[in-house]
């Protein structure tokens, strides 16, 4: 790798992505990255902007519940290049449907929590209202 290339160390990549260096190594070992990070002549990993963008994407997929095996399959499709966009799209559409269903469930649960909060707030408000004089 040329010294003029714009890249960061694994520690800098970890800080930029919010992952640990151990997680980044795991992603690499488990086939989740599009390409292994470049290495210096001494073997130090160097991550480019394109690597960081991919890591951010797969971090988002994980955060929304996509299984590692599905991310691995998606990465493999991307590595294969053009010609399998339909499969990639289907994979992401199916995941979006799962995320939307999860979001609807969580929104419903949040509504129930908010209703319960409202009940307690009303009770507490009634207890603190001043009573009418002589009443």
Average pLDDT over residues 6-29: 96
27-54 in b/e burial notation, b at 16+ Cβ within 10 A? Answer: bbeeebbbeebeeeeeeebbbbeebbeb
Which residues 6+ apart lie within 8 Å of 67 measured at CB? none
Q: Is the pLDDT of residue 4 over 90?
A: no
Residue 132 has a pLDDT of 62
Residue 135 has a pLDDT of 53
Q: Which tens digit of pLDDT belongs to each residue from 50-83?
A: 999 999 999 999 999 999 999 999 999 999 999 9
Share of the chain above pLDDT 70, in %: 93
């Amino acid at each position: 790798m040329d010294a003029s290339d714009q890249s960061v160390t694994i520690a800098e990549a970890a800080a930029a992505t919010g992952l640990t260096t151990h997680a980044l190594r795991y992603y690499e070992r488990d086939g989740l990255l599009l390409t292994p990070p470049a290495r210096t002549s001494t073997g130090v990993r160097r991550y480019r902007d394109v690597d960081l963008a991919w890591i951010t994407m797969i971090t988002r997929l994980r955060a929304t519940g996509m299984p590692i095996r599905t991310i691995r399959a998606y990465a493999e499709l991307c590595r294969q290049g053009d010609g399998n966009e339909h499969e990639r799209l289907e994979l992401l559409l199916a995941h979006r449907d799962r995320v939307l269903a999860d979001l609807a469930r969580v929104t419903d649960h949040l509504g129930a929590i908010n209703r319960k909060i409202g009940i307690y707030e009303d009770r507490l408000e009634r207890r603190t209202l001043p009573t009418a004089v002589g009443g």
